[in-house]
Structure 1
């Protein structure tokens, strides 16, 4: 399920024991991630007082996970990825044309609940810039292209959200979007891990961090879910109308990503990256915006999307490679193998 290490990165391989452990974890990673999510829910429910401490650890945990992810990408390929105009235009089209149309359609049942509607719009209209790269890598997608596009996605959502959220909410969220959380998250979750990965590739070329990927993902899942579960439990049944909305978004966004990728004839790895970008949202970045809202239902709505999305992503890393297969003719040129 994970990308095959390219010849360019193979010389960083560590001891055979570490590669064997990593391979064992990778083979069972979907079940491991489901158990981690369950453990996070149990921890958050049984120890709600630990949530504030765990919340502080969320961003550092994601940063560490992304450092390992970036370290596995030959970073010299990022320049070439930035020149892939067809992929970048498709990425913008999916996230800022297709996704808003989907969101407009599926959030109509929430119009009688302004707090739920605002929270849902805030999170569903913001494309992910952090752990989407990890899930794309796990599914054999073009994570280097997605990594190269993160500044563009961040800038585009910073410009689009102040217009889209009030427009689709009927003006209820006017003036709520601030750039601070986006810039902070981009620096901590993208720039710092990327620079650290580049330095490690340059000065420790034989270092292999691949065996740390699954344990770090487990840590992120447990930390995120446990830190946010108390908010969801406090809101209780009032959040239930959001669940079918978020599930419908995942299904329709995956379908939209696949349709666009086929329409523009993207190769398989890029199509997988495009689809993950459309389906994965920026919940951890927009959560501070939601917490600043006067109603506690707004951040609870964002957190509910996080929980639904994490479950959906664990399933999608298994399903999407079967929906978007690499043609046999492409196999010699592909950087990934089918799970």
Structure 2
């Protein structure tokens, strides 16, 4: 539809509201009263940070060697692959029977560390000038509107459901919506971004193999680190989902602000988004098969 119906790029304005609603109904399925306990799962947090900020950069450092020397192409790939997702990864991990509660509790840490380290990594890969491209604004905006506000609303609905029969019925109805809400997000994202790819097809084709390789390698690396840290199966799946899922919708505004970046840089980033969304549907089917025998976490 995105290729034959004009004007679908206007749907881009609906991505964040749709994401916020999807995350709200997802958070309703997470036992939010247990979030405080999740914060103290230090073994999980260590595995998550090691995976995203040590293992993933090593994987990316290897993969970018197979890219053409064009600095704009490399910048796009680095921007998107070095930034772990802080929003819809919670929804997909929940659908894939991972411990979404742990990922939700870890989002502030992921947000802060990536804002601190992304300039360092870009400087190491591309030189000091690339580090100046990272601004806190898009990351903070995403956290407030896609995590904090939906989370607060979900807490209020859960409290209401615990005190009122009407609230319980509303919560029950909303509990039916995570999958339809996810489908709506997928539709809007695909319809909005596919038309943008035609403006930089050559570069798009060059980065597809890199993104596909990452989509295969990263979750396996995350799962391996989780096994090394002896995490239980749902926590291990959460690390795998986090390793595989990148912050493309948050870094896209950064790309648009780069002088001379359009249309190449946005096309490089949205290509990763499309490949990732297809990959997430596969992960959701395969992840529950990971770790049918659990290891009891020590911490």
**Which band: TM-score by shorter chain?**
over 0.9
Q: Structure 1 residue 60: deviation in Å?
A: 0.5
Among 269, 275, 289, the alignment partner of 1:302 is 269
1:130 paired residue number? 87
* Contact 1:118–1:172 (Cα < 8 Å) also in 2: no
Question: Structure 1 residues 234-243 or 192-201, which shifts more?
Answer: 234-243
* Contact 2:248–2:273 (Cα < 8 Å) also in 1: yes
Is it true that 1:292 corresponds to 2:249 in the alignment?
no
2:74 paired residue number? 117
Among 59, 65, 74, the alignment partner of 1:108 is 65
Distance in 2, matches of 1:259 and 1:273, equals 12
Q: Deviations over 1:121-154 (max 9, x none)?
A: 0000000000000110011110000000000000
Distance in 2, matches of 1:121 and 1:180, equals 19
* Contact 1:114–1:172 (Cα < 8 Å) also in 2: no
Among 195, 213, 218, the alignment partner of 2:178 is 213
1:311 paired residue number? 278
Distance in 2, matches of 1:174 and 1:76, equals 39
* Contact 1:254–1:279 (Cα < 8 Å) also in 2: yes
2:158 paired residue number? 201
Query: For this pair of structures, how many residues does the alignment match?
Result: 286
Q: Structure 1 residue 246: deviation in Å?
A: 0.4
Q: Structure 1 residue 171: deviation in Å?
A: 4.4
Note closer, same or farther for the CA distance 1:123–1:115 as it changes in structure 2 (3 Å cut): same
* Contact 1:121–1:165 (Cα < 8 Å) also in 2: yes
Aligned CA RMSD, in angstroms, stands at: 1.4
Is it true that 1:94 corresponds to 2:51 in the alignment?
yes
> In structure 2, the residue corresponding to 1:204 is in which secondary structure?
helix
> In structure 2, the residue corresponding to 1:188 is in which secondary structure?
helix
2:17 paired residue number? 60
> In structure 1, the residue corresponding to 2:261 is in which secondary structure?
coil
1:147 paired residue number? 104
Question: Structure 1 residues 280-289 or 255-264, which shifts more?
Answer: 255-264
Q: TM-score, normalised to structure 1's length?
A: 0.82
Q: Deviations over 1:49-99 (max 9, x none)?
A: 231x21110000000000001011111111000000000011000000000
1:5 paired residue number? none
* Contact 1:141–1:273 (Cα < 8 Å) also in 2: yes
Q: Structure 1 residue 265: deviation in Å?
A: 0.7
Q: TM-score, normalised to structure 2's length?
A: 0.92
Note closer, same or farther for the CA distance 1:104–1:200 as it changes in structure 2 (3 Å cut): same
2:241 paired residue number? 276
2:3 paired residue number? 45
1:327 paired residue number? 293
2:29 paired residue number? 72
Distance in 2, matches of 1:98 and 1:192, equals 31
Q: Structure 1 residue 174: deviation in Å?
A: 3.2
Among 154, 158, 166, the alignment partner of 2:115 is 158
**Structure 1 alignment gaps of length 5 or more:** 1-41, 331-339
Distance in 2, matches of 1:325 and 1:262, equals 9
Distance in 1, matches of 2:277 and 2:160, equals 35
Distance in 1, matches of 2:157 and 2:93, equals 22
Q: Structure 1 residue 211: deviation in Å?
A: 1.3
What is the 5 A alignment of 1:173-184?
A: 173-184=130-141
* Contact 2:233–2:294 (Cα < 8 Å) also in 1: no
* Contact 2:233–2:295 (Cα < 8 Å) also in 1: no
